Amino acid sequence: MADYQIERFSKRIRVIDQNSDYTLTIDTAERTHLKPFRRFIFTIPRFDKGKMHVTARDLPDYSLEVQNLEIEPYKQYLEIGSGLGEFMPDLVKQLAPDSPKPIVIDYVDYHLLMGMIDYSKNLSLSKEINKRCEVLIDRASTILNPKKVTLITSPVEHFLLDEENFGIADVIMDHFAASLYSHEKSLNERIKKILKTNGVFIWEQEVKKDHPKYHER
């Protein structure tokens, strides 16, 4: 049974799940310069140590390489660390009924995230916040739908221990996820083993200064 503690500040509210130590910080200011994905920040315990932010970028907040990626419905896509970003739910919409099911590897517990968003929605903080909650619930539901996505709730480091997982993906995406946060310097080289021959690994770990959105941050 969920047990939430709420901390209220003048312009933000924090919902803490006492059982898991997951925290959701929502910026509640009426007018805010924060982009939607920065307005809702989840913080969860890292699988190795410390804390991890789970973000929820909208597509225009992704790197240009991701925004310009042409989706080919018969390729096997795999995303590491989807969080609540829009890339995977949008990809799912673009695939055909007989496309290979995309794979998500993320150790975050999407059920816990959904519960916390649902709880926050019931606080009725504002219309805008409720709308955002609905968007995020929709994203989490897509990732949790086994008909649409194969979800592997695990650190990619664990996934890489099984050689049966090698050579399975045409396109791997890691957008501000394991490649950025891992302490292991050779992780990217190991991730490439998941690719088929001629597969593509797209990874992003720094905000590009030439990104059109950069200056709005």
Ligand X SMILES: C[S@@+](CC[C@H](N)C(=O)[O-])C[C@H]1O[C@@H](n2cnc3c(N)ncnc32)[C@H](O)[C@@H]1O
* Minimum CB distance to ligand X smaller for 23 or for 182: 182
> From the list 36, 81, 102, 115, which residue makes contact with ligand X (rule: CB under 6 A)?
81
> From the list 92, 95, 156, 194, which residue makes contact with ligand X (rule: CB under 6 A)?
156
Residues in the chain: 217
φ/ψ of residue 157, rounded to 5: -60, -35
Q: Does 165 bind ligand X (CB under 6 A)?
A: no
* Minimum CB distance to ligand X smaller for 120 or for 159: 159
* Minimum CB distance to ligand X smaller for 140 or for 156: 156
Q: Does 77 bind ligand X (CB under 6 A)?
A: no
Q: Does 181 bind ligand X (CB under 6 A)?
A: yes
Residue 91 CA to residue 70 CA, distance in Å, equals 10
Q: How far is the CB of 105 from ligand X (least distance, A)?
A: 5
36-67: b or e for each residue (b if 16 or more CB lie within 10 Å)? Answer: bbbbbbbbbeeeeeeebebbbbeeebbbeebe
User: How many chain residues bind ligand X (CB under 6 A)?
Assistant: 23
Q: How far is the CB of 98 from ligand X (least distance, A)?
A: 27
* Minimum CB distance to ligand X smaller for 48 or for 122: 48
Angle at 204 between CA 198 and CA 206, to 5 degrees: 150
Q: Does 82 bind ligand X (CB under 6 A)?
A: yes
Q: Does 177 bind ligand X (CB under 6 A)?
A: yes
Q: CA nearest 10: which of 35, 29, 38, 32?
A: 29
**Interface with ligand X in residues 35-74 (CB under 6 A):** 52-55, 57
**Interface with ligand X in residues 88-117 (CB under 6 A):** 105-108
* Minimum CB distance to ligand X smaller for 17 or for 157: 157
**Interface with ligand X in residues 116-145 (CB under 6 A):** none
Residue whose Cβ sits closest to ligand X = 81
| Strand pairing class (103-105; 12-17) | unpaired
Query: What residue ranges bind ligand X (CB under 6 A)?
Result: 52-55, 57, 80-83, 85, 105-108, 155-157, 175-178, 181-182
